[in-house]
Amino acid sequence: MKTIVLYSSRTGNTRKVAEAIASALPAGTPCLDLTQPLPEDLDAYDCVFLGYWVDKGTADAASQKVLPRLHNPHVALFATLGADPHSDHARGSLEKGAALLPEGVEPVDSFICQGKVDPKLIEAMYKRFPPESLHGRNPQSEARHKAASTHPDAQDLEAAAAFARAVLRQLEGKG
Candidates 121, 125, 147, 162; binder of ligand FMN (CB under 6 A) is: 121
Binding segment (CB under 6 A) for ligand FMN, from list 53-61, 64-72, 103-111, 126-134: 53-61
Strands 58-59 and 109-114: unpaired
63 lines the binding site for ligand FMN (CB under 6 A): no
- Name the nearest CA neighbour of 48 among 20, 27, 22, 9: 22
55 lines the binding site for ligand FMN (CB under 6 A): yes
129 lines the binding site for ligand FMN (CB under 6 A): no
Q: How many residues in the shown chain lie near ligand FMN by CB under 6 A?
A: 21
N-terminal to C-terminal alpha carbon distance within the chain:
9
Residue nearest to ligand FMN (CB): 115
Q: Helices (H) and strands (E) in the chain — how many of each?
A: 6, 6
Contact predicate 67/101, CB 8 Å = yes
Binding segment (CB under 6 A) for ligand FMN, from list 10-18, 19-27, 97-105, 130-138: 10-18
Contact predicate 163/112, CB 8 Å = no
Measured at the alpha carbon of residue 82, what is the angle toward residues 134 and 25, in degrees to the nearest 5?
160
- Taking the complex as a whole, the smallest distance from the CB of residue 53 to ligand FMN amounts, in Å, to 3
115 lines the binding site for ligand FMN (CB under 6 A): yes
- Per residue in 44-56, is it b (16+ CB within 10 Å) or e — as a string? ebebbbbbbbbbe
Binding segment (CB under 6 A) for ligand FMN, from list 20-28, 68-76, 109-117, 162-170: 109-117
Pick out residues in 79-98 that bind ligand FMN (CB under 6 A). Answer: 80-83, 89
- The residues of the shown chain that bind ligand FMN, judged by CB under 6 A, are 9-14, 53-57, 80-83, 89, 115-118, 121
